[in-house]
Chains A and B, each alone.
Chain A
Amino acid sequence: MAHAQAAIMDRPPERGLDVYTQKVGMWVFLCSEVMFFAGLIGSYIVLRFGASDTWAAPGEVLNVPVTAVNTFILICSSVTMVKAFAAAEADDQKGIKRYLLLTTLLGAMFLGVQAFEYTELVLHGEWQGSHGFTPAAGLYGATFFTMTGFHGFHVFLGVVCLAWATIQAYRGRWGKDHHHGIEVLGLYWHFVDLVWIILFTIVYLI
C-alpha cells in the first residue's frame, strides 16, 4: 500500500527547462559538432605523434602572420555578433542592421583570406621537395587541409545564415521580442570561432 501511495502521489506540473526550444536545440546540435571536430582533432594528434618527423616546423610552410590576422578578423566578428544581439534586445534597429552586416562581412573576409591562403599553398607551397602543398602532401597536408577546410565550411554555412539574418534585419524582422534567431545564430558563430582558435593553436603554432 505504501508503494501504491508513493506511485499515485501527485506532483506539481513540470514543463522542461526555462529556455526556449531553439536555443536548447542549438546547444544539443553543438554537442554533436564538438564530437565531429573532436574526431578530426583526435586523429590529428594520433597521426602527428605517430609520424612527427613528417610535420613541418611552425611557419615553415604555413604563413602564420596572415592567419593570425585572419584569426583576429574572426574574433572581431564574434564581438560584432554580440553587439548585434545586444542591439536586438535594445530594439536598436540601426544597430541590428549595422552589426549583422558587419559580422557577415567579417565572416566573408575570413573565408576570402583562407581561399587566398589555400591557392598560395597549392601553387607556391614548398614541402618535402614536392612543388606545391596539397592535401596529397603527406599526413601534414592531409590533416591541415581537412581540418581547416571543414572549419572553413562551417564558417561558410554561418555566413550564409548571417546573410539571411541581415536581409531579415533590413525587413525589420528582429527586435525586442524577436531576437531568438540572432541569439541562436550567435551561439553557432561563437562556437565556430572557438573551434578556430583551437585549430589555429594546434595546426599553426605548435
Chain B
Amino acid sequence: MRTDPWKSVTAVLAAFLIAACGGGDAGGEAEGEGEGEDTAAAQVDPATVGTISGVVNFAGTPPAPTAIDMSEEAACASAYPDGAMSQEVLVQNGRLGSVFVRLTGVSGAPAAAGNVTLDQENCRYDPHVLGVQTNQPLVITNSDDLLHNINTTPTENRGFNISQPRAGMESTQRFQFPEVMIPVRCDVHGWMHAYIGVVEHPYFATSGADGTFTIANVPAGDYTIEAWHEEYGTMTANVSVTAQGTAEVAFDYSADMAGAHVPLGEPLVIRHGEHGIEVERSTRTAGAGR
C-alpha cells in the first residue's frame, strides 16, 4: 500500500476530533497497511486505551493441505516450485492462522482511517482472510498479468462482480453494512477464495501465520470477542481491557471441530406486520462451490 499523505492527514484530523469528543481512537489496525495505525496511534490518549493480544491454539492433527493444479496458468504455477497447496487450514506449531477476530457489541466507534488492500498475486488472494471497517475503502489490485474476476457474494451489502484482466489494475470498493464474512471468489480460477469481514468499528484483526493477533487502542472496558474460521466455525471469549494494559485472550480450536457450521452474513428477513416472512437468501456455508 503506497502512502498517501492526504489519507494520513484525514486520519489525523479524524483522530483529533474524536479524541476531542472523548471518543476512543481513530484508525485501528487495517490489514496490510501500517500507515493508518502509526498516524492513529500517535493521536491516541494512552490514558484511556489498552491492547488485546491473543493466540489461536489448534489441538489435534490438521488436515493435510491438498494440491492445487495451476498448470493452466503457467505464470502462476511457476511461482510454486514444489506445487501450490490449499491454504484453508494453516497450522504452525499448534497455532491456527487466518482466524478473523473482532469485538462484538461496541458502540460509538471511530471512523475508519486509511485503506485496506486485497491483492491478487500468483493466482491467490493476499491476504486470504481480511477485515475492513464499514465504508472504509477496499483497494483491490492485480499483480498477475492475466484475467482475474473478483466476485463478492454478500447478503447484507451490495455485491460486485468485476474483472481485472491485466497487472496493475486497481479498483476501490466500499461495504456499507457490517457483515461477517463476505465470501470472495475468482470464477476464472476455481481455487481462489478469500473472506472479508466488515465490522462497524476498528477493533478486529486476523491471526497471522504464527496464530497470534493484536488489537491495539481499545478503549478500556469489558468486551466479548468472537473468532471466525472458514473450516472450524466461530467461538467467543470475554476480555476486559484496562487502560494502558494488555489483555490476553486465547481461542482453542481443534481438529474435531471440522465441518462445523460456518456463519456467513445473516439471512435477509422481510417483516410484514407481526408476521415475519423469512426470505432465506443465503444458505451457503464456507467451502461451498469449491
Contacts and interface: CB of A to CB of B under 8 A. Distances in A.
B105 interface: no
Interface stretch (B93-101, B259-267, B269-277): B269-277
B143 to A, nearest CB: 41
A128 to B, nearest CB: 12
A130 B277 contact: yes
B288 interface: no
A178 interface: no
A133 to B, nearest CB: 9
A131 B279 contact: no
Interface in A122-178: 122-124, 130-132, 134, 136
Interface string B87-118: 00000000000000000000000000000000
Contact of B276 (A124, A131, A136): A131
B279 A123 contact: no
Contacts of B279: 136
B278 interface: yes
A26 to B, nearest CB: 40
B234 to A, nearest CB: 27
Contacts of A132: 272, 275, 277
Nearest to B277: A132
B120 to A, nearest CB: 35
Contacts, number: 17
A203 B236 CA distance: 52
Q: In which size bucket is the chain B interface? A: under 10
B275 A134 contact: no
Nearest to A124: B275
Nearest to B280: A130
A136 B278 CA distance: 11
A123 B278 contact: no
A130 B276 CA distance: 10
Nearest to B279: A136
Interface in B206-239: none
A117 to B, nearest CB: 16
Interface string A15-29: 000000000000000
A104 to B, nearest CB: 31
A140 to B, nearest CB: 16
Nearest to A122: B272
A132 B272 CA distance: 9
A119 to B, nearest CB: 9
Contacts of A130: 277-278
Interface in A80-133: 122-124, 130-132
A136 B272 CA distance: 14
Contact of B278 (A122, A124, A131): A131
Interface string B132-164: 000000000000000000000000000000000
B267 to A, nearest CB: 13
A131 B275 CA distance: 8
A193 to B, nearest CB: 32
A61 to B, nearest CB: 15
A54 B273 CA distance: 27
Contacts of B275: 123-124, 131-132
Contacts of B277: 122, 130-132, 134
Contacts of B276: 131
Contacts of A136: 279
Interface centre among A124, A132, A136 (most CB of B within 10 A): A132
Interface of A: 122-124, 130-132, 134, 136
Given A130-B278, A131-B278, A136-B279, 14 more contacts: A122-B272, A122-B277, A123-B272, A123-B273, A123-B275, A124-B275, A130-B277, A131-B275, A131-B276, A131-B277, A132-B272, A132-B275, A132-B277, A134-B277
17 contacts: A122-B272, A122-B277, A123-B272, A123-B273, A123-B275, A124-B275, A130-B277, A130-B278, A131-B275, A131-B276, A131-B277, A131-B278, A132-B272, A132-B275, A132-B277, A134-B277, A136-B279
6 tightest A-B CB contacts, nearest first: A132-B277, A123-B275, A123-B272, A131-B277, A136-B279, A132-B275
